[in-house]
Structure 1
Amino acid sequence: MVEAQAERAGRHRLRRDGGFRRRSERCRQRRQRVLDGERSRGAERLPLTRRRSGAFADYDTLKTYYVGIGGNRNTTTRLRRYVGKPGDRPLLPGNDRADPASRLQPNRWTHVRLTAEGGHITVEYDGKPLFALDDADPYRAGWFALRTTKSHLKIRNFRIAPLRTDDVASKPLFRDPVHDGAADPSTIYDAAKREWVMFYTNRRADLPMDDKDDVRWVHGTAIGTARSKDGVHWRYGGTAAIPASCTGETLWAPDVERFGGLYHMWVTVVPGVFRDWKAPRFIVHLTSRDLAHWTCGERLDLGADRVIDPSVVALPGGGYRLFFNDERMGKAIRTADSPDLVHWTVKDRLTQTPGEGPKAFFWKNRWWLVSDAWKGLLVMSSTDGEHWSTQPGYILADAGTAPTDRAKGQHPDVIVSGERAWIVYFVHQSGENRTKTQPDYGRHTALQIAELKESDGVLSVDRNAPAHVDLIPPAGHR
């Protein structure tokens, strides 16, 4: 933006009629009138009314967001929201850092990105999240300034630009129009139609219950579909045409992948509709050339009669790996390997605590496994796909602030697109006001999307940040 202004000024200088000089004088007079108006309204209402000395306290009277990187002789990095009162510089504990990664590094260029999007304020430092602040009463207009003290800095490529709004996904991302119970998403690119397809469990959230233990509403479920050209705007695509001859009345948690020019689906099958959770369940493999017509494959033998929630990846050295939930082993996440997607050998137990809905993916030079621990999402990672470490805590554990996103995130899908990745998850509507008078509404679910971030081998997600979605078709389909 600054470069564009300089370019325009250059064009004015080429005029021979003195127009540029006249315009410069008019600009000077206009700016003087603005300053005079500011002074008449009060000395501290806008920042240009007087010069600042550079002393830190001289900025207290501003209403502004302030980021100080490497302050206090490069020992602290902080984000503050100034409130315009002398001596009052509020500082939240989460916005006060002293770790080396947050401070200045000598003799190297660094990239700083500040974003104010409504009341959501973020700071990125060399592409990694530094701070995030949700402001209930945000500052929506004003000036931008750079302040240095006892520093030797060079600044280049400075730019102020409006944020795109056409790539921001709505909250919710999608709701099933039939039963309002979309859950367990799996997303794939349809190369023929050049659009994205999301398969999901179509829970019957609107089915009346006989009592609180009646779970028929999560049985008798079809696999729903939604389609999108851009990953931002989704439309209902009906239910998937999955043959009943090799499946059953209840279908859960599809995983759809493309290997060797063919689409593959692994889906959990429950042979009937039940009032409780005690029925057997197994995983079936199907294939398709167009994502519309599916051919029965084999039922997977994984050594137990209650296995659910498949996630399949291709291994870099050849062959494939299945991640699944073994309910007979305390709902542990386990793996199985196959050379041909038909014959499977059960291998490792990865979790010691109960969970479900694993999603495995490769991103940022390592393998990741995100699963639903029922108190947020558990994150595991591995550099070789064999030795896994567990990240402390859980992501999406705290409820979001936006309507329809006010409960923990559950059973995710992850879409890796270029250098970026997005997590799609479902949320029960138990945190909505309607549930206070209609408790059954808490069974209803919505799908949400948020961008994943990685820093030093740690995965994070800010569900309250606007999700700027930019899905790139897979290589070979662009």
Structure 2
Amino acid sequence: MPLVVRDPVHAGPTDPTVIRHRATGEWWMYYTQRRAGLDCSGAEWVHGTDIGIAVSADEGRTWGHRGIAEGLEHRPGRMTYWAPEVLADGAGGYHMYVTCLAGVRSSWVGDAQVRHYASADLLRWEFRSVLDLGSDRVIDAAVHPLPGGAGWRMWFKDERDDSHLHTAHSRDLYTWTRTAPAATDQSQEGPTVFRPAGVYWMVTDNWKGLSVYRSADLDTWTREPYQLLAEEPEGHHAMALEQGDAAAVLWYFTADEDDPAGRRSVVRATRLEVQGGRLTCAPETPVAPLAAGLTPAWRGGTAG
């Protein structure tokens, strides 16, 4: 059966990201812990959210709830945390870039920032900075290393610019400078960037499935004339974990089949491959075990 990961506390996991714990070999999944069962009439159930953690000790075959990321709180009262991006550095540490909104809101509108945290063990996090990304409404950070050791690039959604995707650059994962727009052809969110088959790919959430872009240099992106996971229940806000030179595993959230018209969601995984120059996936096909030797070092693996 295809893999399904649930949140046993609030039944609303979204925005997953996966990394290997270098000390234990476990695979850790971070996700927005939406409160699907909250009694409310507005958007309160998608606010006041923690960052949930699920862990797999068997190469991603099964997952168990591990609690929430500790140390993100930075003021009294309930805060909102969305869309974690987690990666490993070359010095034995980990970094999280997470969207933060103040309080619990009844609508989706309002200021948002990306905050940077660091950790030595993936569980306890320490605040480093609020990123200056040139806007007071930025969400959904995704990071990928630049070729040749030139640093790191971040993609994020700027809601002040019609929800277009923009970029920032860093040489050390601490100081970020906003750079050029990445994709302004449509409104979208939740980017993820990866590189199978020698080509850079970016998958984004257009709210009706996943758009696909490709690039030769991480600078110029072309949208492909097809989508992924566009049939109901659609896939949303995905993260691609590279598994060697020719494939990746795409983690995404979708409606819970037991609650298709409601708030409950689940995280699923599908194998991505490039076939005939086209990015393909088969959501009903079981995903092979995750392999440390095929996972890039910046995702906690031993490849590259």
Say if 1:182 and 1:426, in contact at 8 Å, map to a contact too.
yes
Q: Does 1:375 align with 2:215?
A: no
Q: Which residue of 2 aligns with 1:185?
A: 16
Using the alignment, how far apart are the partners of 1:385 and 1:304 within structure 2?
A: 22
Among 259, 264, 267, which residue is 2:89 paired with?
259
Shift of 1:242: 2.7
Could you say which structure has the larger radius of gyration?
1
**Structure 1: 5+ residue stretches without partners:** 1-169, 400-406
Shift of 1:381: 1.1
Q: Which residue of 2 aligns with 1:321?
A: 153
Using the alignment, how far apart are the partners of 1:288 and 1:434 within structure 2?
A: 36
Using the alignment, how far apart are the partners of 1:467 and 1:445 within structure 2?
A: 20
CA deviation map 1:246-297 (0-9, x unaligned): 7971000000001122200000000110001122110000111111221111
Query: Partner letter of residue 236 of structure 2?
Result: Q
Q: How does 1:327-476 map to 2 (within 5 A)?
A: 327-351=159-183, 352-399=185-232, 407-419=233-245, 420-429=247-256, 432=257, 439=261, 442-473=262-293, 474=295
Q: Does 1:298 align with 2:129?
A: yes
How many residue pairs match? The answer is: 292
Query: Partner letter of residue 374 of structure 1?
Result: W
TM-score (structure 2 length as normaliser): 0.91
Shift of 1:376: 1.0
Query: Partner letter of residue 411 of structure 1?
Result: H
Higher-RCO chain (CA-CA 8 Å, sequence separation at least 6):
2
Say if 2:54 and 2:63, in contact at 8 Å, map to a contact too.
yes
CA-based RMSD of the aligned residues comes to: 1.9
Structure with the larger strand share:
2
Identity of aligned residues (%): 38
Say if 1:246 and 1:284, in contact at 8 Å, map to a contact too.
no
Using the alignment, how far apart are the partners of 1:246 and 1:288 within structure 2?
A: 20
Among 32, 43, 65, which residue is 1:215 paired with?
43
Using the alignment, how far apart are the partners of 1:434 and 1:312 within structure 2?
A: 33
Q: Which residue of 1 aligns with 2:67?
A: 238
Using the alignment, how far apart are the partners of 2:195 and 2:66 within structure 1?
A: 28
Shift of 1:180: 0.3
CA deviation map 1:397-433 (0-9, x unaligned): 013xxxxxxx00000011112243110110023xx46
Query: Partner letter of residue 245 of structure 1?
Result: H
Query: Partner letter of residue 359 of structure 1?
Result: T
TM-score (structure 1 length as normaliser): 0.59
CA deviation map 1:93-151 (0-9, x unaligned): xxxxxxxxxxxxxxxxxxxxxxxxxxxxxxxxxxxxxxxxxxxxxxxxxxxxxxxxxxx
Q: Which residue of 2 aligns with 1:250?
A: 80
Q: How does 1:68-107 map to 2 (within 5 A)?
A: none
**Structure 2: 5+ residue stretches without partners:** none
